[in-house]
Chain A
Amino acid sequence: MNASGAVAQTAATWRILAWVVPAALLLLVAPLVIDPFQTLTLTYGLIAAIGALGFNLLLGYTGLLSFGHSAFFGGGAYTVAFMVKYLKIASMELFLAGSVLASAIISALFGFVCVRYTRIFFGILTLALSQVLWSLAFKFFWVTGGTDGLRVPTPTLVGMAPTNDKMDFLAHQYYYYVLAVFALCVFLMWVIVHSPFGKALQAIRDNETRAEFIGIRIRRYRLIAFVISGIFTGVAGALWAPLNGLASPDVLVWTFSGEIVFMTVLGGFRTFVGPIVGAIAFTYLKTYAVGFTVYWQLLLGTVLVVLVLALPTGIMGAIERLASKMRKAR
């Protein structure tokens, strides 16, 4: 590495820290300032962000558009519900471990079939397979609770039992727990996409044939990316279940996969933070749209149309463009 490269790297590190430190501080003090309802919305947003981050390893970095990520999110949520119902487990750490294992298995099975294909064929296959999982949850109601779903009580966090005031516990202890898992996931994903493996995925995304001819076994790499992506989204599902209090088929159905796609596109899939910003923005948008009108889906649909037409690179893409314009103007 030459001197100018080292300087560029240090500058890049500072630029990242200039974003990360204020964002981390905001997230840390948020539950002390805003009311519990707001904090819960933010918690949902952070959870969705973990799922979208996993999803974007495939879309943004590997160039594969999955329409089946509800399978992993729902898989993670139902794993928690099953662990509660059949194993009488109440520890969040065990839930997370269980959901990692379960989503790894589901995504390895799905991935084995799906990564043989790309583009629309890949999308349709992931969609079809996720619907199989949904119909299982729907039909085997004596195991899964059918449309009623399965109840998930508030878990113990690092051995700490939930307090009597459930709302307060979720808006404080549980929020910080989610925030910690979120931070860990962001860190892990950041390392993965900047590792030689992450570079190889981007190479596959840009040019499959050439990637093969520099000695990258593309199917194997796609499968690994698929499994990592599934695990992240599964962890999000596991965190979501206790917050929602219920694992229900809503998060297994394909429209929920669509929401994951939506939030990622909203934030901008070409950037690392895009899915995080998109997931939090989407969660607030949906929460307020649902409260504001019964036609909330119409509202979200309109937002999506405007978004694709006006901001094809998403919120972060637009911010980046604006920032570079301002730099040039100076």
Chain B
Amino acid sequence: MNLLTTQALTKSFGDNRAVNAVDFVVNQGEVLALIGSNGAGKTSLVNLVSGLLRPDSGQIIFENNDVTRQTSYERIKAGIARSFQIVNLFDHLSCADNVALSIFSREGKTLNLATLASRDHAVWTEAHDVLRRFGLDRAAVMLAGTISHGERKLLDVAVAYALKPKLLFLDEPTSGVSTREKAPIMDIVTSIVRAGGITVVIIEHDMDIVFRYSERIVVMHQGTILADGTPDEIRRNDAVTTTLIGTHPTGEPAFGGAGNA
């Protein structure tokens, strides 16, 4: 079943068509990787779907409803959540607060100004549970601005996850993280979202990560979709090889090592 469909979705910045008549489909329950070189339009596409940007034309259909004109707030309530490429956290609040805010928001409690937040035990139990699953339980009382970069990347995903979305966009969940830390982060993230039955779209540059963790890959190039298929199909796709790998500085196919993974 199609969870999300975009039809001829277009967005220009000046003369640059960042997203050019894109028909993009996300199926229920899959882990999809969105790849492409810098400036291919991946983040713009996610920004359009999550409501951060307004499209020039085209449609966004989520669960058979046209959400093109909806605000980001309405889309979040409908079940679309996202994390951010550059970590976006509430730095002066504790890690537990960061996650609890998503839960308060999800439950429609954030307009409540007459009771103490700390008294809502169910919310804090859940927040600590989410932190534990992301391996952040020991950082619960620390300010989000003071934990390590890898932990911040995980917390960023945890904040989005705590909204209990149906569709979760992860914009480069391992960017800026050392190669050694990438796989553990992805292991945690993918196991949690799979267990929660959440459909995930991951934007990622690291091809090893992409081939290892995704079930389907969509390749973008200059605002359009260049290829769409399983990791094996993408690996054999000549158009992808020439546009993406042809420019690889070492001259070796960037996907080379992934076959052993």
Contact = CB atoms under 8 A, between A and B. Distances in A.
A206 interface: yes
Interface string A189-215: 001101111111011011101111111
Contacts of A207: 88-91
Nearest to B113: A197
Contacts of A198: 113, 117
Interface residues on A, range: 20 to 34
Contacts of B50: 213
B90 A216 contact: no
A1 interface: yes
Given A194-B118, A214-B105, A202 B110 contact: no
Given A197-B113, A199-B117, A212-B73, A206 B91 contact: yes
B121 interface: yes
Interface in B121-145: 121, 124-125, 128, 141
Interface stretch (B25-33, B95-103, B214-222): B95-103
A9 B118 contact: yes
Interface string A1-27: 110010011000000000000000000
A217 interface: yes
Nearest to A63: B92
Contacts of A202: 90, 92-93, 97
Interface string A217-246: 100010010001000000000000000000
A215 B159 CA distance: 11
B77 interface: yes
A115 to B, nearest CB: 16
A318 to B, nearest CB: 18
Interface in B146-190: 159-160, 163
B112 A215 contact: no
A215 B105 contact: yes
B117 A194 contact: yes
A70 to B, nearest CB: 25
Interface in A264-308: none
Contact of B102 (A191, A206, A214, A217): A214
A113 B97 CA distance: 30
A224 B114 CA distance: 13
Q: Which of A1, A2, A195, A217 has the most CB of B within 10 A?
A: A195
Contact of B92 (A196, A206, A213, A215): A206
B125 A196 contact: no
B118 A197 contact: no
B35 interface: no
Given A1-B125, A214-B163, A203 B101 contact: yes
Nearest to A206: B90
Q: Which of A199, A209, A228 has the most CB of B within 10 A?
A: A199
B163 to A, nearest CB: 6
B72 A196 contact: no
A200 B103 CA distance: 11
A281 B109 CA distance: 37
Contacts of A228: 113
Contacts of A224: 111, 113
Nearest to B74: A215
B113 A195 contact: yes
Contacts of B159: 210, 214
B197 to A, nearest CB: 20
A199 B76 contact: no
B73 A191 contact: no
B84 interface: yes
B111 A214 contact: no
B104 interface: yes
B17 interface: no
A209 B128 CA distance: 24
Given A191-B116, A215-B73, A199 B104 contact: yes
A217 B113 contact: no
B110 A197 contact: yes
B128 A2 contact: yes
B104 A212 contact: no
Nearest to A12: B118
Contacts of B84: 209-210, 213
Nearest to B109: A196
B115 interface: yes
B30 to A, nearest CB: 22
B122 to A, nearest CB: 9
A203 B90 contact: yes
A196 B82 CA distance: 22
A58 to B, nearest CB: 15
Contacts of A209: 52, 84, 88
21 contacts: A1-B124, A5-B128, A9-B118, A194-B117, A195-B112, A196-B115, A199-B93, A199-B97, A199-B100, A200-B105, A202-B93, A210-B89, A212-B72, A212-B73, A213-B50, A214-B76, A214-B160, A214-B163, A215-B105, A215-B106, A221-B110
| List of 10 A-B pairs having minimum Cβ-Cβ separation, nearest first | A197-B113, A206-B90, A210-B88, A200-B110, A215-B76, A215-B105, A196-B104, A195-B113, A1-B121, A203-B90
Given A206-B91, A213-B82, 14 more contacts: A196-B112, A196-B113, A196-B115, A199-B93, A199-B110, A207-B90, A213-B72, A213-B81, A214-B160, A214-B163, A215-B73, A215-B110, A215-B163, A216-B110
